[in-house]
């Protein structure tokens, strides 16, 4: 699962690959916003991303697109 987090006053968004389901990620984000604390997510490699909820602009949850290898025609 690919998760993109937009952060206020940051030029780039945070992108991480997570093994969690979209429902689990949505629940974590919703709980973080309700608690007005921090949003903490862990990627597939065990790295943790922590963002203050008051700086989160948006969270996009999407299926990870398979990467094409070689020359393909679409």
**pTM score, whole prediction:** 0.77
Give the model's pLDDT for residue 4: 93
Residues of the chain falling short of pLDDT 70: 64-68, 72-74
- Distances in Å between the Cα of 16 and the Cα atoms of 58, 61, 64 are 14, 10, 10
Give the model's pLDDT for residue 74: 63
Tokens 């604390």 locate to 37
The helix (run of H) or strand (run of E) holding residue 71 is: none
């Amino acid at each position: 699962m690919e998760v993109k987090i937009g952060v206020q006053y940051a030029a780039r968004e945070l992108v991480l690959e997570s093994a969690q389901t979209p429902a689990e990620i949505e629940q974590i984000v919703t709980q973080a916003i309700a608690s007005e604390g921090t949003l903490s997510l862990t990627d597939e490699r065990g790295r943790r991303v922590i963002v203050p909820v008051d700086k989160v602009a948006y969270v996009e949850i999407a299926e990870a697109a398979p990467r094409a290898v070689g020359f393909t025609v679409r």
